[in-house]
Amino acid sequence: MTNDNEYEPIKKVSIIVSRGSLDGIYPGLIMANGARMEGIEASLFFTFFGLHAVIEKKMDNIKVATVGNPAMCVPSAMGPGLPTWMGALPGMSWFATGMMKKEIEKLDIPPIREFLEMIHDAGGEIFACKATVEMFHLAKADFCKQVDDIISVGQFYEKSAGAQIIFT
Partner 1 sequence: MTIKELIARTIELDSDGHLKNMNDWDESLANALAFEEQIFELTPDHWKVINYMRNEFKTKGDAPSIRKLTKESGIDTKTLYALFPKGPAKKAAKIAGLPKPKGCI
* Binding-site ranges for partner 1 (CB under 8 A): 1-4, 30, 33-34, 36-40, 107-110, 114, 117-118, 121-123
Is residue 67 helix, strand or coil? coil
CB 114, min distance to partner 1, A: 8
CB 39, min distance to partner 1, A: 3
Of 4 and 8, which CB lies nearer to partner 1 in the complex structure?
4
Dist CA 154 CA 149 (whole Å): 14
- Is the link from the previous residue into 83 a cis peptide, with omega within 30 of 0? no
CB 131 within 8 A of CB 152: yes
CB 159 within 8 A of CB 42: no
Q: Write phi, then psi, for 38 (nearest 5 degrees).
A: -90, 5
CB 113, min distance to partner 1, A: 13
CB 61, min distance to partner 1, A: 21
Dist CA 131 CA 75 (whole Å): 39
CB 91, min distance to partner 1, A: 29
Q: Is 68 left (phi over 0), alpha (psi -120 to 50) or beta?
A: left
Of 23 and 117, which CB lies nearer to partner 1 in the complex structure?
117
CB 126 within 8 A of CB 47: no
Of 129 and 163, which CB lies nearer to partner 1 in the complex structure?
163
Of 42 and 150, which CB lies nearer to partner 1 in the complex structure?
42
Of 41 and 142, which CB lies nearer to partner 1 in the complex structure?
41
